[in-house]
């Protein structure tokens, strides 16, 4: 993953309205151009002139407990949103295929059982945070949830691994359309998942 210094703020991989009707255009615009951009700007400022400036993000996250909260919150905020935008698309959803589909069946019993576990991780995260599907050091899949802008790369995460699917459950991700109905947003998220991207990340995590 990219070095921190001189990293460019990625373009959104689709138009603001591409995720309609599941996530409305105004939510995507505010989320990307203000929230995500602020995390990016703030992490650049937080590392400037410090020992973390020349690290790549993954190395940073693996030792995040040693660094200031501003680096943890904004570095996580920046990368988590990169993963989130990439793992959605217009006309997404459905189910994965190939090796990832087999691993999901083997680990969780079925795709539906995985969906329930992942959805519950998002729905039951108190306050702000994320739900994740990740690959652990043994190459096994697991579902987890992290608070705030933490992620499974971080040494502070309850269970560590390589995230391959991330779902933002901060209110800013859904409040305009869904208000307090987070479960409705979680259900809608499944109609947007880009399983090709998730499968590619799965293969990369194993290699």
Q: Which of 45, 41, 75, 83 shows the shortest CA–CA distance to 58?
A: 75
CB of 170 to Mn ion, least distance (A): 5
Residues 109-138 that bind Mn ion (CB under 5 A): none
The C-alpha angle 172, 175, 181, rounded to 5 degrees, equals 130
CB of 85 to Mn ion, least distance (A): 10
Considering the complex, state which of residue 64 and residue 167 has its C-beta at the smaller distance from Mn ion.
Answer: 167
Considering the complex, state which of residue 142 and residue 175 has its C-beta at the smaller distance from Mn ion.
Answer: 175
Q: Which letter, b or e, does each residue of 148-162 get, where b requires 16 or more Cβ atoms within 10 Å of its Cβ? A: bbbbbbbeebeebbb
Considering the complex, state which of residue 37 and residue 62 has its C-beta at the smaller distance from Mn ion.
Answer: 37
Q: Does 170 bind Mn ion (CB under 5 A)?
A: yes
Q: Does 168 bind Mn ion (CB under 5 A)?
A: yes
Q: Residue 114 is inside which H or E element, if any?
A: helix 111-123
CA distance to 64, 119, 153, 185, 202, per residue, from 205 (Å): 20, 22, 12, 28, 5
Of the candidate spans 65-73, 92-100, 152-160, 170-178, the one that interacts with Mn ion by CB under 5 A turns out to be 170-178
CB of 167 to Mn ion, least distance (A): 10
Considering the complex, state which of residue 80 and residue 194 has its C-beta at the smaller distance from Mn ion.
Answer: 80
Binding site for Mn ion (CB under 5 A): 168, 170
């Amino acid at each position: 993953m990219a070095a921190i210094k001189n990293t460019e703020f990625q373009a959104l991989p689709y138009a603001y309205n591409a995720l309609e009707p599941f996530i409305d255009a105004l939510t995507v615009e505010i989320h990307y151009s203000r929230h995500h951009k602020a995390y990016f700007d703030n992490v650049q400022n937080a590392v400037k002139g410090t020992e973390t400036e020349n690290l790549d993000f993954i190395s940073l996250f693996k030792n995040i407990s040693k660094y200031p909260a501003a680096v943890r919150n904004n570095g996580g905020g920046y990368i988590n949103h990169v993963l989130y935008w990439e793992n959605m698309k217009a006309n997404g959803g459905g189910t994965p295929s190939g090796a990832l589909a087999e691993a999901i069946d083997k680990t969780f019993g079925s795709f539906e059982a995985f969906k329930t576990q992942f959805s519950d991780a998002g729905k039951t995260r108190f306050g702000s945070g994320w739900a994740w599907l990740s690959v652990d050091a043994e190459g096994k899949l697991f579902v987890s949830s992290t608070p705030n802008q933490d992620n499974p790369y971080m040494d502070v995460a309850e269970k560590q691994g390589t995230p391959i699917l991330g779902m933002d459950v901060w209110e800013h991700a859904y409040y305009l359309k869904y208000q307090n109905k987070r479960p409705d947003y979680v259900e809608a998220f499944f109609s947007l998942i880009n399983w090709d991207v998730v499968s590619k990340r799965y293969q990369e995590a194993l290699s």
